[in-house]
Amino acid sequence: MTTGSTARRPRFAYAALQRFSMALLGQVGLPADQAHLMTLRMLDADLLGHRTHGLWFLSSYLQRLEAGHIRADAPLEVIASGPASFAWRANRLPGAWVMDQATQQMLAMAATQAVVTATIADCSHIGCLQSYLLPLVEANLFVTLSATNPGIASVAPFGGIDAVLTSNPIAYGIPTSAEPILIDQCTSIASNSFFTAFAERGEKLPGAWLLDAQGQPSDDPAVLQAKPAGTILPLGGTAFGYKGFGLGIAVEALSLGLSGAGRLTGPDMYGQSVFLQVINPVHFAGLPVFLAEMDHLVAACRASRVRDGAPPVRLPGERALAQRREQMQAGIELSEEVFARLRPWASKFDIELPAERAA
Amino acid sequence: MTTGSTARRPRFAYAALQRFSMALLGQVGLPADQAHLMTLRMLDADLLGHRTHGLWFLSSYLQRLEAGHIRADAPLEVIASGPASFAWRANRLPGAWVMDQATQQMLAMAATQAVVTATIADCSHIGCLQSYLLPLVEANLFVTLSATNPGIASVAPFGGIDAVLTSNPIAYGIPTSAEPILIDQCTSIASNSFFTAFAERGEKLPGAWLLDAQGQPSDDPAVLQAKPAGTILPLGGTAFGYKGFGLGIAVEALSLGLSGAGRLTGPDMYGQSVFLQVINPVHFAGLPVFLAEMDHLVAACRASRVRDGAPPVRLPGERALAQRREQMQAGIELSEEVFARLRPWASKFDIELPAERAA
């Protein structure tokens, strides 16, 4: 979810931010390969415009590494494996590093298999789902990725008022002949961090997207912090929220049920479980017809007229990929808030802050 | 989508309806095995409460069989196959019969494979997705099923006003230790037939769930029949409809792209393409932990408090399965509208209408 004010933000060179992040992560004892992958995925998130999963998150990662909630030296256990599937238990290893291992394994298996499916139990926060789609979709694979935190509950079942699920995101990567379609969305009306951002700014929401603790629709993000707390409505809201509820349950089954690390074992808030699958169109009707159909769909969507004065139709991921290109060229925008969170860490470890790039 | 008035409907014995449907389908030349499976799936839809895909649809099937839009003698072609996947082209064979063949094939493959994935190009209308989940979920498999009509367009891309997609349903079957969770929902705000039912009753909608042809939100179902026609909003509506749009695109990629029979080839409205996948939890963290996690989730949802005076939380499929049990016992409810559609066919072929069951 893209958040933040419209004020001009300073720009920073990719390489400078990378060095800065790796230096900080190194200081809390993370090996270089793990620090490298965590850094790449945070920078991906900033590039794609998912600011709450970019360097904004680095201070939380540093805290979690110091507190042992992220464990650099945990074993990566193989629970099950077959020619086209694997199930791992990651024991709080860094999410970005575990996901990279899984991505390499999937690409290797997808060379010969029609469909490759993986689950990862109990890794650390993996961050922005969209960034993991890219290497797989670039290999002309259809990708499904879902991940969720069994220790967090903020969404009530449709018709109820007690939080059971959380925002339970699901992402799909779809190859085309040109830019891929990159879908990444939560199954609640919006994500936990979306509402946190409104609450921190002291703003009301544009609509009644929450329920208060008595189950009344509310536009006040403060109800999520109240005691007793309110809940986020599932996608579809008060009228069609049974659909978001259904999708949220599917994400729980895929990520938590299949991986074997769900809400039953009473985990803390730092573990995530993941479902990842790739489908190779070559083994169905073939890649050329798949790409032709997707190209046709994209063209038909783009050709759709819009309301007078409205911007043209955008495909999922289109704006994110445009931001990525622009920021790779002109530097990555970072808000002062990101540095406010990182300055104490830089000071503690005597690491110089990255220099703003000349405009 | 459950539709219809609250007036008392007469009840009919399952066996009597089955004989009646098979007799009609036999008269238009359908072999007994195909007539049997089409009949079973229509009765499943009525049992589960999906009335627009029950015997209400039989008159359309009879018309389509007479017109050659459904072809009893078409070849079932294997486009591709592997140890855990197959892609068929069904050339307008009856959807229910093709789906039964695919289900048997999947069950056989799932005995040894972690995940089995299939696509079916260009079969006839398969009807109610939920009914196909049952034999697979009863084998303790996680099921994903999506199907759509590449020849129908009623949903605009988010931000646009020209119809490109259609209601693009997706269904998930999730085993538990008790009753399965059966999710079956479209990725638009509601289905085409939901709005047709409002239009036929001359009623306005409870909310502005459509766009008129100029892209203004509308609660008038007549905009869908107007020239130029309006469109159905994607799930999420005017604020969050990019999510329903994303899900709708994923259904198009899975059903139309992978099967190789999509919107590009300019099909008529009678063909559907299907994506079907089963995941066997045994090959991931194992069936016991999967069931335990799903049982825990169901119990947590059921335990959620509700607003004062509201009914208890229901899981997806719970009401459908309760209706099924009740109607198997007490007889299947059918509206006069169903018989109004079938009476001319019964008369044409001199077949007696089923007798109403004594109350």
Q: Return the CATH class of domain B11-67+321-348.
A: mainly alpha
Helix (H) / strand (E) containing A186: strand A181-186
Q: Return the CATH class of domain A11-69+317-348.
A: mainly alpha
| Distance in Å, alpha carbon of A215 to nearest chain B alpha carbon | 5
Q: What is the 3-state secondary structure (H, E, C) of chain B?
A: CCCCCCCCCCEECHHHHHHHHHHHHHHCCCCHHHHHHHHHHHHHHHHHCCHHHCHHHHHHHHHHHHHCCCCCCCCCEEEEEECCEEEEECCCCCHHHHHHHHHHHHHHHHCCCCEEEEEEEEEECCCCHHHHHHHHHCCCCEEEEEEECCCCCCECCCCCCCCCECCCEEEEEECCCCCCEEEEEECECCCHHHHHHHHHCCCCCCCCCEECCCCCEECCHHHHCCCCCCEECECCHHHHHHHHHHHHHHHHHHHHHCCCCCHHHCCCCCEEEEEEEEECHHHCCCHHHHHHHHHHHHHHHHHCCCCCCCCCCCCCCHHHHHHHHHHHHHCEECCHHHHHHHHHHHHHCCCCCCCCCCC
| Distance in Å, alpha carbon of A12 to nearest chain B alpha carbon | 31
Q: Is A23 helix (H, G, I), strand (E, B) or coil?
A: helix
Contacts of A215 (CB under 8 A, 6+ apart): A160, A161, B305, B306, B307, B308, B310
Between chains, do A284 and B85 touch, taking CB under 8 Å as contact? yes
Between chains, do B157 and A242 touch, taking CB under 8 Å as contact? no
Contacts of A348 (CB under 8 A, 6+ apart): none
The CA distance from B119 to A142, in Å, is 14
Structure letter (DSSP) for residue A56: G
Q: For position A3, what pLDDT does the model report?
A: 44
Please report residues of A whose CB lies closer than 8 A to that of B254.
Answer: 142, 279
Contact B69, B132 (CB under 8 A): no
Lookup result for tokens 């892609």 = B87
CA–CA distances in Å: residue B171 to residues A163, B127, B132, B276? 24, 12, 9, 10
Tens-digit pLDDT string for chain B (359 aa): 344 445 578 999 999 999 999 999 999 999 999 999 999 999 999 999 998 899 999 999 999 999 999 999 999 999 999 999 999 999 999 999 999 999 999 999 999 999 999 999 999 999 999 999 999 999 999 999 999 999 999 999 999 999 999 999 999 999 999 999 999 999 999 998 899 889 989 999 999 999 999 999 999 999 999 999 999 999 999 999 999 999 999 999 999 999 999 999 867 889 999 999 999 999 999 999 999 999 999 999 999 999 999 999 999 999 999 999 999 999 999 999 899 999 999 999 999 999 998 76
How, if at all, do strands B115-124 and B77-82 pair?
unpaired
The CA distance from B305 to B269, in Å, is 45
A217, A223, A216, A215: which is closest to A198 by C-alpha?
A223
Between chains, do B240 and A142 touch, taking CB under 8 Å as contact? no
Between chains, do A239 and B206 touch, taking CB under 8 Å as contact? yes
Q: What is the ipTM of this complex?
A: 0.96
Between chains, do B117 and A247 touch, taking CB under 8 Å as contact? no
Contact A290, B257 (CB under 8 A): yes
CATH number for A77-124+132-288 (one of 2.40.50.140, 3.50.50.60, 3.30.1370.60, 1.10.1040.10): it is: 3.30.1370.60
Between chains, do A289 and B260 touch, taking CB under 8 Å as contact? yes
Give the tokens for residue A301.
Answer: 């969507």
pLDDT at A123 over 50: yes
The CA distance from A267 to A271, in Å, is 7
Residue of chain B minimizing CA distance to A242: B316
| Distance in Å, alpha carbon of B293 to nearest chain A alpha carbon | 6
Between chains, do A190 and B85 touch, taking CB under 8 Å as contact? no
| Distance in Å, alpha carbon of A80 to nearest chain B alpha carbon | 6
Note the pLDDT tens digit of each residue in A74-88: 999 999 999 999 999
Residue of chain A minimizing CA distance to B300: A164
Lookup result for tokens 């958040």 = A3
Please report residues of A whose CB lies closer than 8 A to that of B258.
Answer: 142, 279, 281, 284-285, 290
CATH number listed for the domain at residues B190-232: 3.30.60.50
- Which is more confidently placed, B228 or A265? B228
The CA distance from A36 to A346, in Å, is 18
Q: Is A129 helix (H, G, I), strand (E, B) or coil?
A: helix
Structure letter (DSSP) for residue A333: E
Please report residues of A whose CB lies closer than 8 A to that of B236.
Answer: 189, 235-236
Fold of B77-185+238-289: Ribosomal Protein S8; Chain: A, domain 1 (3.30.1370)
φ, ψ at B16 (rounded to 5°):
-65, -40
Between chains, do A310 and B119 touch, taking CB under 8 Å as contact? no
A270, A17, A50: which is closest to A182 by C-alpha?
A50
Between chains, do A310 and B215 touch, taking CB under 8 Å as contact? yes
Between chains, do B114 and A117 touch, taking CB under 8 Å as contact? yes
Q: For position B266, what pLDDT does the model report?
A: 66
Which residue type is seen at A220?
D
Q: For position B267, what pLDDT does the model report?
A: 75
Q: For position A266, what pLDDT does the model report?
A: 66
Q: For position A359, what pLDDT does the model report?
A: 62
Q: For position A268, what pLDDT does the model report?
A: 85
Which of B116, B258, B263, B319 should we substitute to test contact with A (largest number of A Cβ atoms within 10 Å)?
B258
The closest CB to that of A293, out of B115, B246, B262, belongs to B262
Between chains, do A159 and B297 touch, taking CB under 8 Å as contact? no
State the pLDDT confidence band at A145, using cuts at 50, 70 and 90.
Answer: very high
Between chains, do B142 and A207 touch, taking CB under 8 Å as contact? no
The CA distance from B267 to B262, in Å, is 8
Contact B124, B70 (CB under 8 A): yes
Mean pLDDT, rounded, for A40-54: 95
pLDDT at A1 over 60: no
Note the pLDDT tens digit of each residue in A126-142: 999 999 999 999 999 99
Q: Do domains B11-67+321-348 and B77-185+238-289 have the same CATH topology?
A: no
| Distance in Å, alpha carbon of A123 to nearest chain B alpha carbon | 15
Contacts of B4 (CB under 8 A, 6+ apart): B51, B197, B335, B337
- Burial state string for B101-126 with b = 16 or more CB within 10 A and e = fewer than 16: ebbebbeebbeebbbbbbbbbbbbbb
If one counts every other C-beta atom within 10 angstroms of the C-beta of residue A170, the result is 26
Q: Is A117 helix (H, G, I), strand (E, B) or coil?
A: strand
Please report residues of A whose CB lies closer than 8 A to that of B113.
Answer: 84
Residue of chain B minimizing CA distance to A298: B249
In DSSP terms, which residues pair with B117 in a beta bridge? B85, B277
State the pLDDT confidence band at A4, using cuts at 50, 70 and 90.
Answer: very low
* CA–centroid distance for B51 within its chain: 11
Q: Is A89 helix (H, G, I), strand (E, B) or coil?
A: strand
pLDDT at A2 over 50: no
Note the pLDDT tens digit of each residue in A297-351: 999 999 999 999 999 999 999 999 999 999 999 999 999 989 999 999 999 999 9
List chain B domain ranges.
Answer: 11-67+321-348, 77-185+238-289, 190-232
Please report residues of B whose CB lies closer than 8 A to that of A121.
Answer: 285
Q: For position A9, what pLDDT does the model report?
A: 82
Between chains, do A80 and B259 touch, taking CB under 8 Å as contact? no
